Amino acid sequence: MNICVFGSEGRMGQLVREEAGLSVIACYDRISPGASVDVPLPPEVDTVIDFSLPSAWRDLDKLLHGNSAGLVSGTTGLGNTEMELLRKWSSERPVFFASNMSMGIYVLDKLLQTAASMLADDFDLEIVEFHHRGKIDSPSGTALTLLDIWEKNGGGKKITHGRSGPAGPRSHDETGIHSVRGGDVAGDHQLHLLGDGERLLLSHSATGRRTFALGALKAADFIYGKPPGIYSMEDMMSEREEK
């Protein structure tokens, strides 16, 4: 499989290049502010792996125009415009999108889904996420995915981003999200389920970003030869379970 890395000079892009080795035949990145990608994608590229920024997706759209190469994206902080682009691209190619490429986070998602279905009526949820000082978006895409799982399985839909001053008593329909930034933390997510007389802690820690690069390459293998559509960690892990 021939790979193109979009966002190749970022931390994740560099790790993907290292892990993929000679499979990488093209790289694209904004070297300077205002620069744009206007070089066509080589026709022999099978899959584009994207770890960039939402602001770079106009260039990614240009790069993908006129070809059917698969796309694996771990870019976070997406808005409505980017979600529309994902839908557009998925009509032409297989698109794998995940806010976190870790198999451990996939399992954490499943654990929260089970816990929420059993405990949401009686327990409160506080999400605490830790990332390195250079992370741009907050809360993390993973934290927002976890929040969505909680809400869809009976949890509260009122979001509180941290607390300060006379915040008043916590309502049961409230879910707290707290973002901690500093150092070189690759990514920690803690789910504090707080009940009367007992607490439950579910957590995941990434010891390095290489985990996410390897996950992206597994995703590239998974969508290789797949028909157009949007694919997720759920799809990939379900296929692994069947095997």
Do both 115 and 67 map to the same domain?
A: no
Q: Please give the single-letter amino acid code of residue 9.
A: E
Give the CATH number, domain containing residue 116.
Answer: 3.30.360.10
C-alpha dist (Å) from residue 168 to 85, 163, 188, 196: 41, 10, 28, 19
- Distance between CA atoms of residues 199 and 36, nearest Å: 50
Do both 145 and 68 map to the same domain?
A: no
Do both 84 and 133 map to the same domain?
A: no
**b/e code 152-177 from CB counts within 10 Å (16+ = b):** ebebbeeeeeeeeeeeeebeeebbbb
Do both 21 and 80 map to the same domain?
A: yes
- Return the structure tokens found at 171: 């309502």
Cβ atoms 129, 189 nearer than 8 A: yes
Question: Helices marked H in 8-56 — which ranges?
Answer: 11-20
Q: DSSP secondary-structure letter at 40?
A: P
Nearest to 140 by CA among 101, 96, 187, 206: 187
Average pLDDT of the chain?
93
3-state SS class at 134: coil
The string of pLDDT tens digits covering residues 201-228 is 999 999 999 999 999 999 999 999 999 9
- Segments forming the whole domain that contains residue 229: 3-97+209-242
pLDDT at residue 37, rounded to an integer: 62
Number of domains, the chain: 2
In this prediction, residue 167 has a pLDDT band, given cuts at 50, 70 and 90, of confident
Cβ atoms 20, 1 nearer than 8 A: no
Do both 199 and 213 map to the same domain?
A: no
3-state SS class at 201: strand
The string of pLDDT tens digits covering residues 5-62 is 999 999 999 999 999 999 999 999 875 455 566 678 999 999 999 999 999 999 999 9
Do both 163 and 237 map to the same domain?
A: no
- Distance between CA atoms of residues 161 and 166, nearest Å: 14
- Distance between CA atoms of residues 20 and 24, nearest Å: 6
pLDDT(80) > 90: yes
pLDDT at residue 36, rounded to an integer: 60
- Distance between CA atoms of residues 181 and 177, nearest Å: 13
- Return the structure tokens found at 142: 């993973």
Angle between helical axes of 141-152 and 103-119 (0-180°, round to 10): 30
pLDDT at residue 31, rounded to an integer: 57
- Residue 214 Ramachandran class (φ > 0 left, ψ -120 to 50 alpha, else beta): alpha
- Show which residues are catalytic: 131, 135
Give the CATH number, domain containing residue 222.
Answer: 3.40.50.720
pLDDT at residue 157, rounded to an integer: 87
pLDDT at residue 35, rounded to an integer: 53
pLDDT(176) > 70: yes
pLDDT at residue 117, rounded to an integer: 96
Do both 116 and 200 map to the same domain?
A: yes
Do both 108 and 199 map to the same domain?
A: yes
pLDDT(192) > 60: yes
The string of pLDDT tens digits covering residues 95-134 is 999 989 999 999 999 999 999 999 999 999 999 999 999 9
3-state SS class at 237: helix
